[in-house]
Amino acid sequence: MQRRIHILPDHVANQIAAGEVVERPASAIKELVENSLDALASQIEIEIRNGGKTELRVADDGYGMGRDDALLAIDRHATSKIRDEKDLRAIRSLGFRGEALPSIAAVSRFELETASVEDGEGTRIKINGGRVVAVEEIARRPGTTVTVRSLFFNVPARAKFLRSAAAEARAVSEATTALALANLSTGFRLHSNGRELLDVPRTGDLAARIAAIWGEDLASQLLPIDYLSDGLRVAGLIQRPADTRPGSRRLYLFVNGRPFSDRFIVRAAEEAYRTTLPGGYRPVLFLYLELPAEEVDVNVHPAKAEVRFLNKMKVEATVTEAVRSGLEGIESTASLGQQATGTVQLTSRGLPPGQARPRPTAATPGGAQMALFVPGEVVPSKPSAETGEEPGWWTGRAGAMWQLHDSYILAETRSGLIIVDQHSAHERVLFEQMMRDFRGGKTSSQRLLFPITLRLSPGEMQAVEELAGVLRRVGYELETFGSNTVIIHAVPNPHPHFDAERCFREMIAELAHGSPLVDSARNQHERVAKSFACKAAVKAGQPLSEREMTELFDRLFASELPGHDVHGRPTILRLSLEELARRFGRS
């Protein structure tokens, strides 16, 4: 009987595998660049023509390979990166499946030129659709250059799915950018049809790399975070709430140096921004997660775009805390003039400097992608001079405060001057207090000698009836009377200038008809707390006594996110002594 089942020839198997690993030029580039990074390249040159469909080339100055290694490399599951299944559980290198080169070679006209650091002998291997057509000796400097022409020439079905050259070039650029953000100590250059798309030099500083890619403007809007909790470290740069914009956004996640995407992590990061952003605004985020290799499975997806965390909840919670920690400080507030986000030596919070991981050397290949977090590398961190001031960075000197136009409070700080918007600041204070009270605290409510009687519209009346319980917790004790009248017997008393009736009217109108502020709330409690904070806060134009200003400052800086009100506006504007010196030509 004729056998129906048979083993596929290697080149067919490789073509199938190629479909998973390599789906477009960008993924081929990603595989090749990761190989270069694993070979500890310090400079990687990428060129594409026609979006990479006609030709793509990745050249590095890494270790390179000898002739035997080079020949083996093009066999499937041939890899230098892991040896047995034990290593799979703790993958430190970027590639490891041993699929990339043979997969690409199977579906293109492929040329590998390499020379190893050790013997300096150069090898060129040419492969056409998976068949080796030439192995030659050549002279070249150490490193590897892979040229891929006519990708998918022998898989027309796949070739048909490639998009326009411009779209493919965009994808290549995006993939290269992510790799460049993950590997600061490597320089990247990307050319498309001879035009330079990216040129970023080696650096130790994430902000410098971001500035090299997108310009200084974006870099200056970012705040460093560095947070360590229970073996999980979250570092990187996050955007100041006041600088966020709606619409297109930049969002880069890395785990142990590997770019990945995970909408739950994104959601966790954005959770930390809650109540500091207007609806629809999204922050720019560059988050670098570092955790023990055995706690993350990167072997989920052939292209490694997704990863699986052993303890997903913990990772998400830590990301939220990490981002929030960045938003708590005075650095997260808006600033006049240039930001003083200096770059300092990174020392991991909670890790004694002596115990930090050693810098990877040539003897530990695969360590390169960790470079961001190794001592000696420099990433922006909270300027130590300012962190030293917390929490009492406001000098608190009586007389060093001044109310401007009955609306803004100017105060001296150790590093310059802050301007506080009294209404926004009070909003933040009241909002957090109200949320705390909802969670189990008690609010006090002043009984009125003369109850307030209000006529409301049907919509407002309905809101009052639905929210009676929550309003009671706020401090409004109500009694409905007939179909359109409500009697207020007791009111909250958040400050001496509080107008209980006006606050109630405005709040009910907002709650009944909606507004961007309350519509961004997650639940009824938050909805009411936001509205109350906004309507009850001290208004602009209200003269405040020195004591009231001091009290407002004390309470503002005791809140969780003092720098941001509930609308996504800044509460504090900083003017540093450096900026003043600069403006007066003293620097």
Partner 1 sequence: MKVTITRENFQRGLSAVAATIPARTTLPVLSNILVETLEDRLRVRGTDLDISVSVQTPAEVERAGAITLPAKKVADIARELPDAPVQLQANGGRVSLVCGSSKFRLHSLSADEYPSFPEVPFDEGWGLRSGEVQKLSAHTTFAVSSEETRPVLNGVLWQVRGAEMRMVATNGHRLAKMVVKVTRDAAGQDEDLIVPPKGLQQVERLFDAEDQLQIARSESHLGFRTARVEVYTRLIEGPYPNYEQVLPEDNDKICIADRGALTAAVRRVAIVASDQTHRVRLSFGPGTLALAVQTPDLGEAEDELGVEYSGAPLDIGFNANYVLEILRYISTEEVRIAMSAPERPATFEPVGGDETYLCLVMPLRLME
Contact status: 505 vs partner 1 (CB under 8 A):
no
Contact status: 3 vs partner 1 (CB under 8 A):
no
Contact status: 443 vs partner 1 (CB under 8 A):
yes
Contact status: 77 vs partner 1 (CB under 8 A):
no
Contact status: 248 vs partner 1 (CB under 8 A):
no
Q: Which two tokens stand for residue 169?
A: 């070039």
Q: For the chain, how many residues are written?
A: 587
Report how far residue 106's alpha carbon sits from residue 324's, in angstroms, rounded to the nearest whole number.
48
The single residue among 496, 514, 516, 543 that binds partner 1, judged by CB under 8 A, is 496
Report how far residue 196's alpha carbon sits from residue 344's, in angstroms, rounded to the nearest whole number.
31
The single residue among 442, 584, 585, 586 that binds partner 1, judged by CB under 8 A, is 442
- How close are the terminal C-alpha atoms of the chain, in Å? 91
Shortest Cβ 517–partner 1 spacing (Å): 23
Report how far residue 153's alpha carbon sits from residue 458's, in angstroms, rounded to the nearest whole number.
69
Name the residue nearer to partner 1 (CB basis): 315 or 474. 474
Contact status: 448 vs partner 1 (CB under 8 A):
yes
Shortest Cβ 551–partner 1 spacing (Å): 6
The single residue among 300, 540, 558, 581 that binds partner 1, judged by CB under 8 A, is 558
Shortest Cβ 527–partner 1 spacing (Å): 18
Contact status: 436 vs partner 1 (CB under 8 A):
yes
The single residue among 493, 524, 539, 578 that binds partner 1, judged by CB under 8 A, is 493
The SS3 assignment for 165 reads helix
Q: Which residues partner with 44 through β-bridges?
A: 60, 188
Report the largest interatomic distance among the alpha carbons of the chain, rounded to a whole angstrom.
102
Name the residue nearer to partner 1 (CB basis): 489 or 582. 489
Shortest Cβ 437–partner 1 spacing (Å): 8
The single residue among 139, 449, 584, 585 that binds partner 1, judged by CB under 8 A, is 449
Contact status: 483 vs partner 1 (CB under 8 A):
no
The single residue among 67, 258, 473, 535 that binds partner 1, judged by CB under 8 A, is 473
The single residue among 64, 360, 365, 475 that binds partner 1, judged by CB under 8 A, is 475
Report how far residue 472's alpha carbon sits from residue 36's, in angstroms, rounded to the nearest whole number.
64
Strand 572-576 and strand 334-335: the pairing is parallel
Q: Applying CB under 8 A, which part among 2-10, 293-301, 448-456, 519-527 lies near partner 1?
A: 448-456
Report how far residue 328's alpha carbon sits from residue 521's, in angstroms, rounded to the nearest whole number.
20
Contact status: 495 vs partner 1 (CB under 8 A):
yes
Peptide bond into 224 cis (omega under 30): no
Name the residue nearer to partner 1 (CB basis): 250 or 436. 436
Report how far residue 92's alpha carbon sits from residue 86's, in angstroms, rounded to the nearest whole number.
12
- Residue ranges of alpha helices (H) inside 256-367 are 263-273, 312-328
Give the DSSP H or E segment for 575: strand 572-576
- Do 38 and 81 contact (CB within 8 A), yes or no? yes
Nearest alpha carbon to residue 530 among 566, 500, 556: 566
The single residue among 357, 502, 513, 582 that binds partner 1, judged by CB under 8 A, is 502
The single residue among 445, 480, 515, 524 that binds partner 1, judged by CB under 8 A, is 445
Residues of this chain that interact with partner 1 (CB under 8 A) are: 436, 441-450, 472-475, 477, 489-490, 493-497, 499, 501-502, 551, 558
